[in-house]
Structure 1
Amino acid sequence: MVWMTAAEALKVLNVRPQTLYANVSRGKIRAKTDDADPRRSLYHRDDIARMAQRSNGRRKIDVVSAQAMQWGDPVLPSAISTVHNGRLFYRGQDAAELSVTATLEDIAMLLWQSEPGQPPSLPLADSAAPIVTDSALGAGLLALALRSAGDPPTLGRPAADLRAEAACVLATLTQAMAGPPTAGACTISRRLAQAWQRPDAEDMIRRALVLMADHELNASTFALRVAISTGASLAAGVLAGFTTLTGPLHGGASAEFGRLTAAAKLHGAETAIGQWLASGRPLPAFGHPLYPEGDARARTLLNLLPKMEPYAALAAAAEAQAGELPNIDFALTLLAAAHQLPDDAPFILFALGRCVGWLAHALEQVQANHPIRPRARYVGPSEGIY
């Protein structure tokens, strides 16, 4: 049969009648009056089959795209970092192995792909006056916002110039969150150790910064790449990443874990975990979709940190009640507790370490030279559309 009834066409297309009629009016589906019943229309089989194939293909793309935005398949090509078989790699090198000796500055050289003989100069301090606020978070936001207001766009600029500017942006954020450098503070890890008056913690701070440098296309990195794809300045891109990092489901997880830890001290770890899970909130500092066998970054640090309470009890309770293992937020918080670092030290370590990766992704995104602009899958009212 060349012609199909409306019921047959709708069954094949799996759409509402309005959609069928709209495609007829647009000339995409041929229709004719049913000779047996002039009140009805018939629809051409070939047109229906073609539309069905296109509809199914579109539906598959919608599903894939939606899942990709929620721990699905990769959505952007990148040569910077990847998680493979439970291990994190920076340009093909194991991040855990790099953390044994490398500094964050070494990782910047690696991820920014400095040209041979032309490593980017990492200034120890920003030329601007230090910003004084009540918190490192506020200082970081303000410093990046001020740079964003005056720095030039990234579009069409030489890579060497952008690498030099990346070093300055990193210096700006470091000075805002760690304060100006003191004598002998030749690396970011040493600056933090001196600012926190914990020289014995410098090696662990260095390792943590290296492990935080990049982590594929996480939420803050994606936000940065969207901003940079429009031609925005490096500082504006880092500001987009920095603000995204503050959320409790991302870099703000350590603050959430602090609340869970406080509850464990009052009521015991098992009760604290049970009550948290019963509330329906995501369990902070435990589990990670990319590491079903446990976060490799956390394991690298935890192997070097002492067992402390209530952290050990919380780890045992989380595994028993939720089947989740500690992630990097747990490790950063334990590091801060073990060395008596400030309460916001986990976030500072996360932000300063990740700034290196953000800037690497910014440099990579500039080369793409086109905006990141996904389409929305409309699910709102259809009146007036069809």
Structure 2
Amino acid sequence: MRNWITLAEAARQLGVQAQTVYAYASRGNIAVMPDPHDPRKSLYRADDVARLCRKKQVGRKREALAAGTIFGAEPCIYSGITTFSKGRPYYRGRDSIALADHATLEDVATLLWHARAPVTFPFEADDAAPEGETRGRQCAFTSLAALAANGHSTLGRTDAALHVEAGQLVAAVARAFGASGGASGGASGGASGHANGDDAMPVHARLALGWNQDAHGAELIRKALVLVADHEITSSAFAARITASTGASLPGCLLTGLATLSGPLHGDASGRVRAVFDDVNRLGADQVVTHHLQSAIPVPGFGHHLYPDGDPRAAALLDALEPPAELAAFIAKVVKLTGLKPTIDVALATLAAQLNLPRDAAFALFATARCVGLLAHCIEQLRVGKVIRPRGRYTGPPLEEEAGPSAPRRSKVAAPDEKTLQKNRLFKVAGS
């Protein structure tokens, strides 16, 4: 490589005009020397030009990365909570599908929150589940909003203290969706893995009791809760982490996460599946599948971008279910004709249909369980100690020019061309 290059070559490599090369040289960014073959010209150090080219390239990469971090690329957040391997989600290194065979949501919270003591979701013995229209997501959101309005910042608090409050929040959400704080009954027998009694009654048994389910129903609810407790950096987890990074209260962080979760493209996808199930019950599986395929309408709840070979959470839950015949036929027909496997949203909606749970029960299960994962992300984010603050790229109209606080605003005037400048110079000479 030549040590010195011409102005034209330097400008070409840098992708700039000659005036910019002059500016680089005047600032000392590029060394310059007279051209020994033509004293009227200069040569520029090739190494300095190459260094500036590399610097500009890095700047472009960073700019492109910043622009694509939220949309078009995948933001990267370091986390020790959940990851994927061989098509399965793992909770802190534990196979979540295997955990669903025996663990409770309390066990999963102890694991995901890195708690030193077993986690509980405390209910008072006289905590009655809301009745009728007062229960459900409206009750859950308003309860969290009231707690957030008077909540304490998470800053300066130990993990143990946060775990206690987090357990109370999960209990509050479960209670809003119908979990009962009453005495244990048949719903908890043989399914909880805990001793009998109000204090030891796990949340899946409380939900089963509030929804009038027996021990078998409680066991299916337990399995579903464990399977959906977390799913790495989802939209709701990211939203909750942003809120947590500001030092907001735990109920405020959880409210942010659940609000994001409630979207039909996220945690409320089971609502779309439920609507299709309604059509299946009314019209039959064959007619519903035919309508979707002939109209080129994707069937909600089938195919997951993270699981090209099928959602293992759905498979684990569906294997434990005995859905109504028409729904089973519908699922089998969609899989056969599309090649797409059912997601966890189909499994939750199927569970709700089999047990004849409340209309919004699939979302209730998802939201209650995912509280555990969202709170785990919030607590982990607190230890990072930095506010998550993306940058924006302005695409609006040109900015108005400010002429100063007291000076009148002037309109933008185009710079005179060379011909006008020459006339002005001649006028000045003649007038002098």
* TM-score grouping bracket, smaller chain normalisation: 0.7 to 0.9
Is the Cα–Cα contact under 8 Å of residues 269 and 314 in structure 1 kept in the other structure? Answer: no
Q: Which residue identity is paired with 2:209?
A: Q
* Pair 1:122 & 2:121 matched: yes
Is the Cα–Cα contact under 8 Å of residues 151 and 233 in structure 1 kept in the other structure? Answer: yes
SS at 1:83's partner residue?
Answer: strand
Q: Which residue identity is paired with 2:144?
A: L
SS at 1:178's partner residue?
Answer: coil
* Residue in 2 that maps onto 1:198: 213
Listed as ranges, the gaps of 5+ residues in structure 1 are none
Aligned counterpart in structure 1 of residue 351 of structure 2, from 335, 351, 361: 335
Is the Cα–Cα contact under 8 Å of residues 80 and 91 in structure 1 kept in the other structure? Answer: yes
Listed as ranges, the gaps of 5+ residues in structure 2 are 185-197, 401-432
RMSD: 3.8
Aligned counterpart in structure 2 of residue 268 of structure 1, from 288, 295, 320: 288
* Pair 1:292 & 2:308 matched: yes
| Whole-angstrom distance in 1 between the partners of 2:24 and 2:315 | 60
Q: Relative to 1, partners in 2 of residues 1:179 and 1:306: Cα closer, same or farther, differing over 3 Å? A: closer
Is the Cα–Cα contact under 8 Å of residues 103 and 187 in structure 1 kept in the other structure? Answer: yes
Is the Cα–Cα contact under 8 Å of residues 127 and 181 in structure 2 kept in the other structure? Answer: no
* Pair 1:348 & 2:349 matched: no
Aligned counterpart in structure 1 of residue 333 of structure 2, from 316, 322, 325: 316
Is the Cα–Cα contact under 8 Å of residues 108 and 226 in structure 2 kept in the other structure? Answer: yes
* Residue in 2 that maps onto 1:52: 53
Q: Which residue identity is paired with 1:193?
A: A
| Whole-angstrom distance in 2 between the partners of 1:27 and 1:381 | 33
Relative contact order (alpha carbons < 8 A, sep ≥ 6): 1 or 2 greater? 1
Is the Cα–Cα contact under 8 Å of residues 229 and 372 in structure 2 kept in the other structure? Answer: yes
* Pair 1:150 & 2:175 matched: no
Once the two structures are superposed, residues 202-254 of structure 1 have per-residue CA deviations (whole angstroms, 9 ceiling, x without a partner) of 11100000111111111101111110011011111100100000111101111
Is the Cα–Cα contact under 8 Å of residues 4 and 42 in structure 1 kept in the other structure? Answer: yes
* Residue in 2 that maps onto 1:160: 160
Q: Relative to 1, partners in 2 of residues 1:70 and 1:257: Cα closer, same or farther, differing over 3 Å? A: farther
The alignment of Structure 1 onto Structure 2 pairs a total of residues equal to: 373
Once the two structures are superposed, residues 87-122 of structure 1 have per-residue CA deviations (whole angstroms, 9 ceiling, x without a partner) of 11111111111111111111111111222xx33443
Q: Relative to 1, partners in 2 of residues 1:212 and 1:47: Cα closer, same or farther, differing over 3 Å? A: same
How far 1:46 moved relative to its partner? 5.0
1:1-386 pair list within 5 angstroms: 2=4, 9=11, 12=13, 48-64=49-65, 69=70, 75-115=76-116, 118-125=117-124, 134=134, 136-184=136-184, 186-199=201-214, 200-264=216-280, 265-266=282-283, 267-275=287-295, 277=297, 283-306=299-322, 308-317=325-334, 320-321=337-338, 323-376=339-392, 378=393, 380=395, 383=398
Q: Which residue identity is paired with 2:54?
A: Q
Is the Cα–Cα contact under 8 Å of residues 96 and 226 in structure 2 kept in the other structure? Answer: yes
Is the Cα–Cα contact under 8 Å of residues 129 and 181 in structure 2 kept in the other structure? Answer: no
| Whole-angstrom distance in 2 between the partners of 1:96 and 1:28 | 62
| Whole-angstrom distance in 2 between the partners of 1:232 and 1:25 | 50
* Structure 1 stretch displaced more, 44-53 or 173-182: 44-53
Is the Cα–Cα contact under 8 Å of residues 178 and 207 in structure 2 kept in the other structure? Answer: yes
| Whole-angstrom distance in 2 between the partners of 1:126 and 1:369 | 39
How far 1:272 moved relative to its partner? 2.0
SS at 2:115's partner residue?
Answer: coil
Identity %, equivalent residues: 37
How far 1:66 moved relative to its partner? 5.9
| Whole-angstrom distance in 1 between the partners of 2:328 and 2:30 | 68
| Whole-angstrom distance in 2 between the partners of 1:262 and 1:26 | 74
